[in-house]
């Protein structure tokens, strides 16, 4: 017999709207699963059960035909622990903020509240969201629900792990260099990184080189598209930054593209600088996806892409971003070595070096958009390596740690630099039954195209199994 978490987020939404399920019942179901299972995963750093149940009861009592039609009415979610919610601790994954309780709620959280959602707490993130794995000094690591010896990726590791384990139907997340796509691919769920300028409250334009945007994580392409529509609609644009292309993107997920030209590459911009070795399962996933799309009648072509000068430019940008944090020398002694290294390295950069990197980023953006322009979507691996064991990333040698993150996920950060939309989704499994994902990258403002292709690929690919703890 199917349980509530077996349903897709859209099916849960429809059950809420019809009255078959109440917000109170659905919230209680997820809170019970979190209480029972999250100790094995570490996806939550704060659980606000009392507040969630009170809100669910209020929504149930005050329900009208109009409120029931809210896109997230009665739907549980959780805030990433980089997002403030009034009265709820926000630690940013750091012991420096262990006791910080904000008195304001960020737009990222308020938008989902206004759509009728119910926050169950805070999902885990690495310190200040700086790394592609979620292991911190203030709590247990976040684990892959498929294999608890492995990490869940980062920086939205808690969000992805909670969705993969059936502790949430969907989750908001953020992505400055792969922070949605890396964990989503690690644990076998769907993650969308929108175009720069697409999300009103997180356009990317306010960060160096426009890297960081918000987006959704969910178990299906349709579910992720639904949450993306909510994130887009929640705030007006204060200035003319809206990415091209039309929503709602949930509609795109429901209609297979009549035609699409897919480019395929396993080249990454890091290939000439780091020891990038593509795992055989990751390569096979790309081959499977390309074959399925070709058999469905789409044009699928390998193409040559030879990016140059990327590693030095991105490393400078990432260090520049870290250097902006207002941390004293004493505080740098209390943070993770990778955080301290990034901040200190960033503070050694000259203005000329930063300007050169920003100029190089603009040139890289133009070159990448030009190279990808012939295609509606570019298919790449999502990750180069299988999920990494807890403790695999070097906690003493920060420079080696950074290199390890590149080796794990060399296909992520360049999409942020180019400002392009991308989606990751599982298409096959390895010999142990763990999902293996691919990435589809779109043109500027091309979310509709990659969502439509991804939804079609999802329908064509094997049906993904659930992690071992799913039915507990």
> For residue range 3-35, what is the model confidence (pLDDT) as tens digits?
999 999 999 999 999 999 999 999 999 999 999
pLDDT value at position 66? 83
Q: In the chain, which residues have pLDDT < 50?
A: 240
Q: Which long-range contacts (CB under 8 A, 24 or more apart) does 57-65 make?
A: 57/23, 57/24, 59/23, 59/116, 59/118, 60/22, 60/23, 60/24, 63/23
Beta bridge partners of 426: 437
Burial (Cβ within 10 Å: 0-12, 13-18, ≥19) of residue 381: buried
- Residue 201, phi then psi, degrees to nearest 5: -90, -5
Peptide bond into 155 cis (omega under 30): yes
For residue 218, list its beta bridge partners: 170, 190
Q: Give the pLDDT of residue 238.
A: 56
CA distances from 421 to 171, 243, 332, 408 (A): 18, 10, 34, 21
- Minimal CA–CA distance to 69: which of 27, 129, 115? 115
Burial class (CB in 10 A: 0-12, 13-18, 19+), 417: buried
- Residues 121 and 176: their CA atoms lie apart, in Å, by 22
List residues with catalytic annotation. 80, 155, 179
Burial annotation 51-62 (CB, 10 A radius, 16+ → b, else e): bbbebbeebbee
The answer to whether 73 touches 86, Cβ cutoff 8 Å, is no
Please tell me the distance from the alpha carbon of residue 308 to that of residue 367, in angstroms, as a whole number: 10
Could you tell me the sign of the dihedral formed by the alpha carbons of 321, 398, 43, 421, in that order?
positive
Ordered domains of the chain (ranges, CATH)? 4-460 (3.90.1300.10)
Terminus-to-terminus CA distance in the chain, angstroms? 13
pLDDT recorded at residue 286? 98
- Which two structure tokens, joined as six digits, stand for 191? 């993650």
Q: Which of 209, 303, 312 is nearest to 270 (CA)?
A: 312
Q: Which residues contact 147 (CB under 8 A, 6 or more apart)?
A: 387, 432, 434
Peptide bond into 248 cis (omega under 30): yes
CA atoms of 167 and 467, how far apart (whole Å): 12
- Please state, as a whole number, how many other Cβ atoms lie within 10 Å of the Cβ of residue 365: 19
What does the alpha-carbon distance between residue 62 and residue 189 come to, in Å, rounded to a whole number?
Answer: 34
pTM value surpassing 0.85: yes
Task: State residue 240's pLDDT score.
Answer: 41
| Residue-level pLDDT at 469 | 95
Contact 131, 318 (CB under 8 A): no
By the 8 A CB rule, do 105 and 83 touch? no
Among the listed residues 76, 98, 243, the one whose alpha carbon sits nearest the alpha carbon of residue 171: 76
């Amino acid at each position: 017999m199917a349980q509530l978490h077996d349903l897709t987020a859209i099916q849960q939404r429809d059950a809420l709207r019809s009255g078959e399920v109440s917000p109170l019942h659905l919230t209680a179901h997820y809170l019970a699963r979190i209480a029972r299972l999250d100790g094995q995963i570490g996806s939550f750093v704060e659980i606000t059960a009392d507040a969630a149940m009170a809100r669910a009861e209020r929504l149930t009592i005050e329900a009208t035909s109009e409120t029931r039609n809210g896109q997230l009415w009665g739907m549980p979610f959780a805030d990433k622990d980089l997002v403030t919610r009034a009265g709820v601790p926000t630690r940013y994954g750091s012991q420096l903020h262990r006791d910080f309780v904000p008195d304001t709620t960020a737009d990222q959280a308020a938008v989902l509240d206004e759509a009728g959602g119910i926050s169950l707490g805070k999902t885990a993130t690495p310190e200040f969201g700086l790394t592609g794995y979620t292991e911190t000094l203030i709590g247990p690591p976040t684990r892959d629900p498929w294999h608890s010896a492995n990490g869940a990726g980062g920086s939205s590791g808690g969000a992805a792990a909670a969705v993969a384990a059936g502790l949430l139907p969907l989750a908001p997340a953020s992505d400055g260099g792969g922070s949605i796509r890396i964990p989503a691919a690690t644990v076998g769920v769907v993650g969308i990184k929108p175009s720069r300028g697409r999300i009103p409250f997180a356009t990317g334009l306010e960060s160096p080189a426009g890297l960081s945007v918000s987006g959704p994580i969910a178990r299906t392409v349709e579910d992720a598209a639904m949450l993306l529509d909510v994130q887009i609609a929640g705030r007006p644009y204060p200035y003319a930054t809206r990415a091209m292309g039309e929503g709602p993107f949930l509609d795109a997920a429901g209609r297979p593209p009549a035609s699409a030209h897919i480019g395929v590459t396993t080249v990454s911009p890091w290939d000439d600088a780091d020891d990038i070795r593509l795992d055989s399962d990751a390569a096979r996933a790309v081959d499977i996806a390309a074959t399925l799309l070709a058999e469905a009648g789409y044009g699928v072509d390998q193409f040559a892409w030879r990016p140059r000068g990327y590693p030095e430019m991105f490393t400078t940008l990432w260090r520049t971003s870290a250097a902006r944090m207002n941390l004293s020398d004493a505080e740098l002694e209390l943070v993770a070595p990778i955080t301290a290294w990034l901040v200190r390295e960033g503070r050694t950069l000259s203005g000329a070096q930063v300007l050169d990197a920003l100029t190089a980023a603009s040139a890289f953006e133009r070159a990448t958009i030009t190279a990808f322009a012939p295609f509606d979507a570019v298919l790449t691996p999502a990750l180069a390596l299988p999920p990494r064991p807890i403790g695999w990333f070097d906690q003493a040698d920060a420079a080696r740690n950074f290199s390890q993150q590149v080796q794990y996920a060399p296909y992520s950060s360049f999409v942020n630099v180019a400002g392009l939309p991308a989606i990751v989704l599982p298409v096959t499994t390895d010999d142990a039954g763990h999902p293996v994902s691919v990435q589809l990258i779109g043109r500027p403002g091309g979310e509709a195209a990659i969502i439509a292709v991804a939804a079609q690929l999802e329908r064509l690919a094997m049906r993904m199994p659930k992690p071992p703890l799913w039915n507990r």
